[in-house]
Structure 1
Amino acid sequence: MKGFLTLLLALVVVLTGAINVYAANEVIIDNPYAELVGSWTTGTMTTTKYGADYYYCFISTTNGNSATYRPNIPQTASDWEVYIWFPSGTNRPTQAQHIIHAANGDNIVYVNQQANGGYWYKIGGPYTMNAGTDNYVRITNYGSETTKVVMADGVRFYSAGGGPDTTPPVISSVSANPGSTGATITWITDEPSTSQVEYGETTSYGYATPEDTSLVTNHSVTLSGLSPSTLYHFRVKSKDASNNLAVSGDYTFTTTSATASEFRAVWVNTWNIGFQSASEIDTMIAMTSGANYNVVIPEVRRRGDAHYTSSPLYCPVCNAYHREPKASSVTPQSFDPLAYGVEKAHAAGMQIHPWIVTYRIWGSGAGTPPPDHVWYWHGAGTANDWSMRDSSGGYSDGGNYNLDPGVPAVQDYICKVVLDIVSHYDVDGFNWDYIRYPGTSWGYNPITMQRFYDEYGYWPPTSSSSPNWGTWCDYRRQQVTDLVKKCYLEIMAIKPWINHNVDTVGWMGANPNTNYTGTAQYSSVFQDARKWMQDHIIDTNILMNYKREADSAQAADYDLWTTWLANMQSSTGRHSVDGQACYLNSISNSIHQMQVARNAGIGLCNYDYASTNNESRPRQEFFDAVKANLYQTPVPVPDMPWKSNPTTGIIFGTVTDASKPNDPIYLNWVYKATVTVSGPVTRSTQTDATGTYG
């Protein structure tokens, strides 16, 4: 930055302590030096803030609150420009009022805070500003968008005058978050700067991370390949845009003891290699167990087919048996990949958690299904149509066909598929994928629509502007939750030790830590993983946190969701796992993301075995790097004490009505019956669409 060299200005800085003066041509005011009127809340969660925190409050029509940023302008000039910094978001106003007071009086500017956040955004200028403290920017909460919150974070005043920048950044808030074999180092600079860490077991350091040349004020660098229970020294280094270098003092941290247990998993998708034949399974198990992974999650049901030997499943609707055929990619067709995979995984000391794609059942390019297939009997246009439809009546989801979650018989059928696998194979866990809607425009099967009408007295709306849209979204979300709960109860009844885990989406958008119900997970595809963990109907939440570390916005979002997972794990007592997308990243960036998850104390699952990097490097290189930097020694999968040493039990059953065996929707299942159990405590619950309670 450009230095302002007069003794008078330096004295002002010392006396007021209210501003950071970088140069004769630049003044930045950050919180907490704003002059606040009214009630403002201090926020710290978002990664796009300037400095350590920011202020926010709800918009009001009474113009009661304001935050004033008043600089000490070092010299009178006519070219002062004004910039603001704020964290953007969907709950921000599009017309946030900013009053810029300069020599010409008040200049009112309205800013769209749903965009343009996370950097210095110019809102006005050039203005004539006189030297001294008569100039300011005042952010108010005045406006008509009363459901939105206005942000007040930092203000920058800039004039083109002044000499060359010779002042280095100011480093503050240095901290370390160590794990057993890595650590995350964070710090703040008072201007955008690069990031680098020197570290080692002495003050001579000896190691340094590559310099991250991104100019940021909130810095985070992850170290990997460290030794457990070891004291490390480190210092941080940052350069500003003018190449002025700042170096911190020496800091230390001690890595934790070697990990006693850890969830180290990899998905194996069966549209690719890895689980089609005995030789592929042998290679996959050898490669993953050799890198000290302890869980393999193979896809055993892609689209109403089977990488196992399926059983005929009775359908009470049509009084027939449905069976899902062996996947055509299995070689030879007599081979049972799941049975062989269980044998080989257990021999290598690994767990195996078969993965199914939940509602997807057939596809446009798959030809005619076999005559005993569920889509043959209940596909689009059949007498008992279970197909998921969009609001226009279409049923092709990108060429895939899905069963509708709101059809009671669909919930019954899918649960039978799950129990067929769990009861016939010695699996250690069960993994759900695509247990969600494709989007908000789906779920309009006639049976589901009739159920909704019978319950609420009006048909499901097709527009999000409808006043009944929220009810319709809640209804669909409950259908997914009901299936998760029903199958958890059914599995507990036959194999209570099994790890019941679910793949959930972690798409970019709302911050889950501050606005969970605004996330796509909750509001677009109707997965309520927060409730599932809180209600203990899943054992492990595997979040598909698929982000490119090379993209700064995606990298920041990866960290946000990882923080949410860690918080959910600690608050609910159920396990969280980061589903890391190695296929989107270089090997080194995957190692970085995996270390972030480890430092947060949660498990890991890579997607996927067939595609381990975006560099066209052999998959063995990826697994070698994981072993060298992360999984250096074998560890067991974390215990589930609520299952291995339970202190409570589960009561579950089914309510039926023998007088109504042929109801066209519910058969003899009783929906929304209240079941109350009394004892030391009294609990009540309602049955789902298949009469199940628990």
Structure 2
Amino acid sequence: MRQGWWLLLTGTMAIAGAQAEFRGFWVDGFNEGFHTPEEVDTLLRRVRTANMNAVIVQMRKRGDAHYLSPFEPFATNQQPGFDALAYLIEKAHGMQPPIEVHVWVNCHPIWPGNGWPADPKHVLNRFPEIQTENLQGERVTEVGYGMDWGHPLANAFFTRVALDIIRRYDIDGLHFDYIRYTGENWGYNPVSVERFNRRYGRTGKPEPTDPLWKQWRRDQVTAIVRKVYANAAAIKPQVKISAALITWGDGPRDTDDWVNRSAHSRVFQDWRGWLEEGILDMAIPMIYYNQANPERARFYLNWVTFLKDHQYGRHGVAGIGNYLNSWENTLQQIEIARAPSPKGNRLMGVNFFSYAATSGNGTEGGARRYEEGFYQLLGERAFPEWVPTPPMEWKHHPTRGHLMGTVLKARDLSWVDGATVELYRHGTRIRQMQTDGTGFYAFVHLEPGVYSVVVRAEGLPAAQTQTVVITPGLTTALHWLLGETDALPLRRLKSLNDLPDGTRVLLMPKRVLNDTLSPDQPLQIGELLGEHTLEVQLREQALPWLREDRVAVLGTLTTRPDGSRMLTDAVAQWLGVL
């Protein structure tokens, strides 16, 4: 009987495998996988044996980097000086056929719960104020110290870490993990609570189950995803944004039941909403269940079915916990993932956790590691022939465009938190949102054409209106300065030649021309198009500025002994990549 079942399974899987399909491994940074060139070579050999077409590699674990980062310290368990990401990309893309490289970044966890990082470059030493807290004021979560998405600086820092990877490395995708909170008792960073109270006229600490407070924290997580997605589309439109997503417990029956699931109600990760908005290209829920347990097998089936029927034109991929399952049960879960739902919908592929832990007995500690037979089994029975990953038509043949921008106060370039941004077409308001804690907003996947944008903010002058043209496949930036300023707003740097020393000037947007990695290094800015440049001496520099950043600058005009002009006593605000 078992032999006959295997023959049927093998035949069915071979037919399904003939079409484009995402086939990947999660490759974590704690175990062997990419710490040395030899580990990378072994990884790619096994991936080829299994006829896989992608790897999702954990390049950020807890505020560290397995690549060369200007923002975070080098991982201590990495071969010193070895840029794992650069080497992996070169080798994987050089294979025939090539293997996609998706960079996995842990978002929330930044340090284990014991001790404290020694490296001054670590985010906890740079910005200890961004830590999350629970209702009781404790800071060590179940995964250690974590960033609180309600603190604008956490938003700003992580966004720049993520976009730096996309800009400097030829990656195929960026993959979020822990893009959430750890539970409804967390998210009580004092700055986040103060912002919430100011927005809604409250005082004190809200209860963990307060619906408005839960939605607030949900919005803070979504804001990060939206900000990275829009800026990534501006840098490299083909880069795929994906995430490892929560599926604790049984799967939802429908969209009404979705709000009762842990992802939405406990850790504030509205990944169904991200797919619907279009700020996530590929959803990979971590459907880690032991197929030998009938209840858990039902959980797996229900989550896979929900994902098949709720992709919203994007890609759903089943995250299979092979580390919990026997080889046979992993193959069975692949077949379940490949089968159509009762409504006739299919997923776009499968991804395995993990490359290191290849099979198990249903428990966290029972996993077997690096079994060569497992990689061979996948290549012989699950994936007997190599196929490419499915194309993302909205990226390869875009028919829509994106709009994003930042709203700042003109007097000091501080972020305007909670400004209302309205989007109109043909006189009808079609979308509306509030800026996040960094003044950022984005409307994605807009039909091409002419739009009007209205911005208003409490305590600042009346609404401003601008017109913008949306073009298919392009991201358009529209930044705003609200309120009065004692500085002279200028569009062009050459206008500085006619002004006397001591004039306070405001410039936006300008292009950063140099990497400034230390506070004593001056910032060089230039026009978005043009040859004029200007040196800027900043009052302080919290983070490095990187070439091709876009900034707003406010400073005092000065003439140097050689006759050239510069700005001193200046402040700068990051606007994004456009």
TM-score by length of 1: 0.59
CA distance in 1, matches of 2:246, 2:370: 28
Give 1:377 deviation, angstroms: 2.6
Report Cα offsets for 1:54-107 as digits up to 9, x if no partner: xxxxxxxxxxxxxxxxxxxxxxxxxxxxxxxxxxxxxxxxxxxxxxxxxxxxxx
Instruction: Give 1:97-496 correspondences, 5 Å limit.
Output: 208-209=4-5, 223-226=8-11, 259-311=18-70, 323-331=71-79, 333-348=80-95, 349-365=98-114, 367-379=116-128, 385-398=129-142, 400-459=144-203, 463=207, 469-496=210-237
Any idea what SS the aligned residue of 1:562 has? Answer: helix
CA deviation after TM superposition for structure 1 residue 356, in Å: 0.4
Deviations 1:351-372 (A, max 9, x none): 0000000021122345433223
Instruction: Name the aligned partner's letter for residue 395 of structure 1.
Output: R
Cα distance in 2 for residues equivalent to 1:310 and 1:643: 27
DSSP 3-state at the match of 2:62: coil
Aligned in 2, Cα 1:344/1:475: closer, same or farther, shift over 3 Å?
A: same
Instruction: Confirm or deny that 1:644 pairs with 2:396.
Output: yes
Q: 2:278 aligns with which of 536, 548, 566?
A: 536
- Shift in Å at residue 459 of structure 1? 3.8
Q: Counterpart of 1:209 in 2: which secondary structure?
A: helix
Cα distance change of structure 1 residues 680 and 426 upon mapping to structure 2, 3 Å threshold: farther
Say whether the 8 Å CA contact 1:357–1:435 is kept in structure 2.
Answer: yes
1:622 aligned residue: 374
Q: 1:556 to 1:370 in 2, by over 3 A?
A: same
Q: 1:498 Cα deviation (Å)?
A: 0.6
| 2:158 aligned counterpart, secondary structure | helix
What corresponds to 2:267 in structure 1? 525
Q: Separation in 2 of the partners of 1:641 and 1:501?
A: 16
Q: Quick one: distance in 1 between partners of 2:411 and 2:208? A: 40
Distance 1:623 1:258, change over 3 A: closer
Unaligned runs of 5+ in 2: 341-345, 362-367, 443-578
Tell me how far 1:682 sits from its aligned partner: 5.0
Change (3 A) 1:556 1:223: farther
Structure 1 residue ranges (4+ consecutive) displaced by more than 4 angstroms after TM superposition: 255-258, 679-682
* CA deviation profile, 1:508-527 (whole Å, cap 9, x unmatched): 14635361111011111111
- For 2:27 and 2:336, the matched residues in 1 are separated by 23
Question: Which letter does structure 2 place at the counterpart of 1:260?
Answer: Q
Give 1:681 shift: 7.1
CA shift, 1:345, in A, is 1.2
Q: Please say if residues 113 and 141 of structure 2, whose CA atoms lie closer than 8 Å, have aligned partners that are also in contact.
A: no
Q: How far did 1:227 drift?
A: 5.7
Which letter does structure 2 place at the counterpart of 1:691?
A: G
**Equivalent residue number for residue 21 of structure 1:** none
Give structure 1 stretches of 5+ with no counterpart: 1-195, 199-206, 211-221, 229-254, 312-322, 380-384, 662-666
Structure 1 residue 671, shift from structure 2 partner:
2.7
Q: State the AA in 2 paired with 1:288.
A: V
Q: Quote the residue 1:584 is aligned against.
A: 324
Secondary structure of the residue aligned to 2:387 is coil
Is the deviation greater in 671-680 or in 279-288? 671-680
Match of 1:633 in 2: 385
Per the alignment, in what secondary structure is the counterpart of residue 403 of structure 2?
A: coil
Q: 1:510 to 1:626 in 2, by over 3 A?
A: closer
Matches within 5 A, 1:17-166: none
**SS of residue in 1 equivalent to 2:357:** coil
Q: 1:579 to 1:459 in 2, by over 3 A?
A: farther
**Structure 1 CA distance, aligned partners of 2:51 and 2:23?**
8
Specify which of 492, 497, 503 is matched with residue 244 of structure 2: 503
In the alignment, the residues of structure 1 paired with residue 332 and residue 143 of structure 2 have an alpha-carbon distance, to the nearest angstrom, of 36
Find the aligned partners of 2:389 and 2:408 in 1 and give their Cα distance: 40
**What letter matches 1:336 in structure 2?**
D
Q: Deviations over 1:121-147 (max 9, x none)?
A: xxxxxxxxxxxxxxxxxxxxxxxxxxx
Tell me if structure 2 keeps the 8 A contact 1:671–1:690: no
1:672 and 2:416 aligned: no
Distance 1:682 1:512 in 2: 33
Q: % of aligned pairs identical?
A: 33
SS at structure 1 position matched to 2:231: helix
How many residues align structurally?
Answer: 426
Q: 1:460 to 1:358 in 2, by over 3 A?
A: farther
Q: Does the aligned pair in 2 maintain the 1:542–1:579 contact within 8 Å?
A: yes
Counterparts of 1:438 and 1:345, CA distance in 2 = 34
User: What does the per-residue CA deviation read over 1:5-42, in whole Å, with 9 as the maximum and x for residues that have no partner?
Assistant: xxxxxxxxxxxxxxxxxxxxxxxxxxxxxxxxxxxxxx
Normalized against structure 2, the TM-score is what? 0.70
Higher helix share: 2
- Aligned-pair CA distance for 1:645: 0.4
Q: Distance in 1 between matches of 2:88 and 2:307?
A: 30
Q: Secondary structure at the match of 1:542?
A: strand
Secondary structure of the residue aligned to 1:264 is strand
Work out whether residues 509 and 520 of structure 1, in 8 Å CA contact, stay in contact via their aligned partners in 2.
no
